Chain A
């Protein structure tokens, strides 16, 4: 939450990551990540599978607890926070998952309104209005009273995005949002993400969609073997990669 006298502006640092490491038992997944994410940025993270990109993303809202390092959000290290305070931080960080993770027992409308209402940020009526607005935006207004199992994968992911947006997040994290979709449904989700990017949302996206990276990213981050190998604006990154591993990766996928 930002008060009136200090308007947030593009370029303010939202998240600062310092020397972040993550081990699973003896496996070192992240080996000292340093980076910052600023308001308005669209960071697209790419890299081979097992490179640690999803783990890195999940560390940002502490779904995955990093082993060492710092993640500074609003001047506070979320790794040192109590669970209750982390929950507050998460309210401002939307997350979209590969497998949607919609709540199967609730209607679409309830999926969207559950968190704002139970966290007492909105009344049910306010939340319902917000849900209608968001459903209109993602083009699924007619599905408000359907259940998740009645939707296609692409529709589910658009609802998952709407559900995150209902919390008015300052930043959205996307963990391979199109990887579980049938090819013909990838487009509708990417389209919505582009609209979101155009509206000024700060986004961090782990994806294999190079077209999306080229078109939407303000910065492409290439990860391999638990490290950030190279970071650059998309044009520079794709046309003129500097690191040999980046070159090798790009030669394989493009």
Chain B
């Protein structure tokens, strides 16, 4: 017991090491938040391009670009994409901007998965909804925006939430480009104390708590959106 107390003190208290974890958490949250936003923007855009092409045959070139994007991003590992982005594409960029590279990289990656989620949501909407919109004189974009997307969004919300959770955990590879996120900071503590068990447990626990909070928030939102399905 005394031994544990000592280890705990070394890991979290000495040199204010707990602050490492707070800083790391901050970076993890920043990357996750902005990458998720970027991913959602890209994902919705790509999904709309793809389903518009499938339905109307228009947007041929954009559709082709989208398909290449989906194939490349979903066909290569996240860590590799991150490293290519940082060490090749933005090789000349100053290291202090690496968080932007991380956000960009994770956002582009997440966008590919969001796109397929949203597209499946659009496809799940009955064709009659498009026809009803058209028959009232609403243009295709208006029907998409006011009729289809709100319903598709509701249908895919659980899957989107899941994607954000995956993204949050996936940012743990940001250490590969020297980004000091939560995982990396835990690792720094481990390197300083030669004690692996406590910092890793703490890092895991923090991820778990964040995921639980996210899950709770989403279930609240879902209940709000489901309100009009109740009989």
Which A residues have a C-beta under 8 Å from some C-beta of B? 61, 63, 83-84, 87-95, 97, 99, 101-107, 114-115, 118-119, 147, 149-150, 160, 163-164, 167
- Min CB gap A160→B, angstroms: 8
Interface size class of B (residues with CB under 8 A): 20 to 34
Among A92, A97, A163, point to the contact of B131 (Cβ < 8 A).
A97
A101 to B129, CA, bound (A): 6
The stretch that binds A, out of B22-30, B146-154, B199-207, is B146-154
A-B CB contact pairs (8 Å), 25 listed: A61-B134, A87-B139, A89-B137, A90-B134, A90-B137, A91-B137, A95-B132, A97-B135, A101-B126, A101-B132, A104-B229, A105-B150, A105-B154, A105-B228, A107-B228, A114-B147, A115-B137, A118-B142, A118-B146, A147-B229, A149-B228, A149-B230, A150-B230, A163-B136, A164-B135
Mostly, the B contact residues are helix
B135–A150 touching, CB < 8 Å = no
B128–A97 touching, CB < 8 Å = yes
CB of B231 closer than 8 Å to a CB of A: yes
**Which 5 residue pairs are nearest across A and B when measured between Cβ atoms?**
A91-B137, A101-B132, A95-B135, A115-B136, A101-B128
CB of B138 closer than 8 Å to a CB of A: yes
Taking CB as reference atom, which chain A residue is nearest B56? Answer: A83
CB of B176 closer than 8 Å to a CB of A: no
- Decide: A99 near B128, CB < 8 A? Known: A88-B137, A119-B137: yes
A114 to B133, CA, bound (A): 10
CB of B140 closer than 8 Å to a CB of A: yes
B135–A93 touching, CB < 8 Å = yes
- Min CB gap B152→A, angstroms: 10
From A63, A88, A102, A118, name the one whose CB has the most chain B CB atoms within 10 angstroms. A118
A167 contacts across to B, CB distance below 8 A: 136-137
A103–B129 touching, CB < 8 Å = yes
- Min CB gap A128→B, angstroms: 17
Among B126, B132, B231, point to the contact of A150 (Cβ < 8 A).
B231
A210 to B34, CA, bound (A): 62
A95 to B132, CA, bound (A): 8
A79 to B154, CA, bound (A): 36
Taking CB as reference atom, which chain B residue is nearest A97? Answer: B128
B147 contacts across to A, CB distance below 8 A: 103, 114
A241 to B202, CA, bound (A): 86
B228–A147 touching, CB < 8 Å = yes
B228–A97 touching, CB < 8 Å = no
A150 to B129, CA, bound (A): 18
Among B128, B129, B138, point to the contact of A115 (Cβ < 8 A).
B138
A90–B154 touching, CB < 8 Å = no
A92 to B136, CA, bound (A): 8
A242 to B146, CA, bound (A): 49
- Decide: A103 near B137, CB < 8 A? Known: A114-B146, A118-B142, A118-B146: no
From B128, B136, B142, B146, name the one whose CB has the most chain A CB atoms within 10 angstroms. B136
Which residues of B69-114 have CB atoms within 8 Å of chain A's CB atoms?
Answer: none
A63 contacts across to B, CB distance below 8 A: 131, 134-135
